[in-house]
Structure 1
Amino acid sequence: MMALRHFLVVEILLIYFMNGCSNATNEVCKTSIGASTQDWIKWGDNFYKVIMEKMPWLEARDACAEMGGVMVTPKSENEGRFLAGITPFSDNTRHFWINCNDRLVEGIWECDGKTDIPYQAWLSIEPNDYGVLGEDCGVAYKGGIRWADSPCSFQLHAVCKKPVAVLHL
């Protein structure tokens, strides 16, 4: 019984801090946990939220972090197809930022902070660092199906992702 109680306390604290609760009363924290998935779409083991406001790559990355998530990088073709279904952008390309960049070293791409990228969906001529502005940030085209590189200063949409936190009572 004591072990189960300890497990529940640890799990509640984990959810508490994952959802940005700190220096709060339990009631406020419960509200934050409930509201933390508002407007998020559950798929598999994650929640996803489409950011409809266009912004540069760094701002999009930071906006996702402020919501307790990360900017999405599709991990499979299935996830890419799922993203294609939830990105209702008005432009025909339905493109958005992904959490990939080669800002530190040109040609060495990092996705989610790692250079070992098991799944990649680059268009056949991408990444190519085309143009005078340079293209150091990743973007998903066709709603997540294919990737390209783009100048980080461009104003694009983003999709945030965070793991599903399960509370067992």
Structure 2
Amino acid sequence: MAFWSKFIVVVAIISSIKAVLGSGFCPSRLSVKCHSRLIVECSCPPEWQLWGNVCYRLTPSPHTWDDAKSACQDMGGKMAAPCSFEEMNFMVELARNVESNFYAWIACNDKEVEGTWECDGQEENEPFLVWNRDQPDNYANNQDCVAISSDHNNRMDDDYCRLYYLAMCVRRAACTHGLTQLRD
């Protein structure tokens, strides 16, 4: 019985809030029309750069591809793999700001099956891959890891996983949500 009475009170409160917000009138001034809008504010830790609701940064030192994955985890993130041109362009600009002639590992590889590229976080979809001309080339039959590179027109290149490059890391941003009243 106590459950149902609390449930009814919660429903009544929610209904009242919906009625006030949905009425088109501001609760503080009933003669002024207004609308509510959801606001999302996100921030990143120092040295990370905000893009959308995620944070990016490069590892401070070069690593092999496998070690780069661990380095990103040690910084509280994971190695990044772009899902769109916009995201890849953001990564390119971030890398270029650190080093004008850059190579940066991303979380894509064909280690398991040659020619079958996998990107972390894109298991459900076809991986987003934007290769430079004549790439991937699997030079000497063992280029299994992917980097974005200024030497490859800011596009992707398959390379030897044992080489040392900076790595692109990503983590969730700290986001808060709230409502704001907009007056007409």
* Length-normalised TM-score, structure 1: 0.69
Runs of 4+ in 1 over 4 A off after TM superposition: none
| Greater per-residue strand proportion | 2
Letter in structure 2 aligned against 1:151: Y
Find the counterpart in structure 2 of residue 130 from structure 1: 139
Note if 1:121 corresponds to 2:130: yes
Q: Distance in 2 between matches of 1:89 and 1:164?
A: 21
SS at 1:58 equivalent: helix
Unmatched tracts of structure 1, length 5 or more: 4-35
Find the counterpart in structure 1 of residue 25 from structure 2: none
Find the counterpart in structure 1 of residue 59 from structure 2: 51
Letter in structure 2 aligned against 1:120: L
Q: Distance in 1 between matches of 2:51 and 2:74?
A: 21
After TM superposition, the structure 1 = structure 2 runs for residues 33-112 of structure 1, keeping only pairs within 5 Å, are 37-87=45-95, 88-90=97-99, 92=101, 94-112=102-120
Asked if the contact 2:104–2:165 (Cα under 8 Å) also holds between the matched residues in 1, the reply is: yes
Larger Rg: 2
Asked if the contact 1:109–1:115 (Cα under 8 Å) also holds between the matched residues in 2, the reply is: no
Letter in structure 2 aligned against 1:135: Q
Cα RMSD for the two superposed structures: 2.7
Q: Percent identity?
A: 32
Asked if the contact 1:108–1:115 (Cα under 8 Å) also holds between the matched residues in 2, the reply is: no
Letter in structure 1 aligned against 2:56: Y
Q: How many pairs align?
A: 135
Tell me by how many angstroms 1:40 deviates.
0.8
Tell me by how many angstroms 1:123 deviates.
1.5
SS at 1:54 equivalent: coil
Note if 1:147 corresponds to 2:133: no
SS at 1:128 equivalent: coil
Q: Distance in 1 between matches of 2:99 and 2:154?
A: 17
Distance verdict in 2 for CA 1:118–1:135, change over 3 Å: closer
Unmatched tracts of structure 2, length 5 or more: 1-5, 11-43, 179-184
Distance verdict in 2 for CA 1:104–1:115, change over 3 Å: farther
Tell me by how many angstroms 1:103 deviates.
0.8
Asked if the contact 1:135–1:152 (Cα under 8 Å) also holds between the matched residues in 2, the reply is: yes
Tell me by how many angstroms 1:118 deviates.
4.7
CA deviation map 1:15-46 (0-9, x unaligned): xxxxxxxxxxxxxxxxxxxxx71211111111
Asked if the contact 1:52–1:89 (Cα under 8 Å) also holds between the matched residues in 2, the reply is: no
